[in-house]
Amino acid sequence: MNRSIIIAIVIAVGVTAWIASGQIDSFSDASNSDAVAATQEEAKVGAKTAKPKKIMGVRVQSFTAQPRQQEVIISGRTEAYRVVELKAEIAGRVEKVHVDDGDRVKTGDPIVSFDVKDNKARLLEARALVRQRKIEHSAAKKLNKKGFSSNTTLASAKALLDGANAKVTGIEIRLRDLVVNAPFDGYIEVRSAEVGDFVKEGNPIATIVESDPLLVTGQISELQVGDIEVGGEGTAKLVTGETVFGKIKFIGNMADQATRTFRVELEVPNKGYKLRHGVTAEISFKTKSVPAHFLTPAYLTLNDSGVLGLRAVGEDDLVEFYPVKVLADTPKGIWVTGLPETVNLIVVGQDFVRDGDRVKPDLYTAEVSQ
């Protein structure tokens, strides 16, 4: 084929292709413009036809805080108010016993008497010496006034008289020590001495117990010790079935190094010594009043983090979540803390809303009976 013809054909094809590409681009641009216009038109139509977000209706109830006394419960046991082991102050042989195990005694009652031996005779001798020293001192005093005796002689006579009186006092004390008496009201737990026993100085005679009033003691944790105070009320339930009431007598100031707890003593009456020493008990202490709300546990719910609390309606009808702590659970309801003094709690629908949701509250006026 002629070369000029081939060149002409190539040029014709190229021109044709160039014209065609321009038409395709024009068509594509027109199509895109139409599509965008259509989308915008649909958006406008959709905006006109979209429904507004629905506001959920909930039922709310108003609650006001009330003072509530908490209880601290610990384990403990009964203890005698005082336990004293009486010991001999002098050595001697037991001549008489005045009580047996379990006997009740009053202050000053004799427990054991020792053999007097020659102590009474020594007392008579000492008193006779006192009379002699008095005569000598009186004579020295008269002579001194007349100038026939020096002041030194008078002072010496006075010293001898004082020494004789002191000897009498010493023997009288020894005679009193020969009788061991009860130092306070109580009962004899154990009598160690028997008739005929020779007891050395410092040996045990008897154990006397004072258990009216009685103490109920226990250990309270360092987290709760600040909630009670001396003079506060308490209750003790004994495993033997008795329930006793009393007041806090003592709270320790030093914690047990092993348990980090503090000793606390509840003083309770024990007329007739009916309650015994060493009985296991459950002790409940009344603590300081705290503001709390009383409501039914059905209102409780969990937030997204699993925290127990209550949902309320705040300003602008927005939902708020309050974590709470349950103080007490009673058959009629629960006491909780963690809420504002006055709050509108959601009592119906609390599980279908979340924090920050706007709701339509309907006030419910029923009250929780206490």
Question: CA-to-CA distance for 298 and 88, rounded, in angstroms?
Answer: 70
Percent of the chain with pLDDT over 90: 34
Length of the chain: 370
Closest CA to 78 of 359, 365, 282: 282
Distance of CA 170 to the CA centre of its chain: 52
CA distances from 109 to 112, 179, 214, 303 (A): 10, 10, 22, 71
- Place 144 in a pLDDT band, splitting at 50, 70 and 90: confident
- What is the value of pTM for the model shown? 0.57
Residue 324: what pLDDT? 94
- Place 282 in a pLDDT band, splitting at 50, 70 and 90: very high
The answer to whether residues 207 and 189 touch, using CB atoms and an 8 Å cutoff, is yes
Question: CA-to-CA distance for 197 and 218, rounded, in angstroms?
Answer: 40
pLDDT tens, position by position, 162-202: 888 888 787 777 777 778 889 999 989 998 888 888 888 88
Q: What are phi and psi of 43, to 5 degrees?
A: -65, -40
The answer to whether residues 80 and 211 touch, using CB atoms and an 8 Å cutoff, is yes
As assigned by CATH, the class of the 57-68+291-363 domain is mainly beta
CB atoms within 10 A of CB 312: 23
Residue 13: what pLDDT? 47
Let me know if domain 211-289 sits in CATH 3.30.390.30: no
pLDDT tens, position by position, 73-128: 899 999 999 999 999 888 888 888 998 888 899 998 999 888 877 666 676 777 88
Res 141 pLDDT > 90: no
- At what angle are helices 119-146 and 151-177 packed, to 10 degrees? 160
Distance of CA 270 to the CA centre of its chain: 24
CA distances from 81 to 59, 210, 227 (A): 58, 6, 25
Angle value at C-alpha 181, between 104 and 80, nearest 5 degrees: 45
Question: CA-to-CA distance for 89 and 176, rounded, in angstroms?
Answer: 10
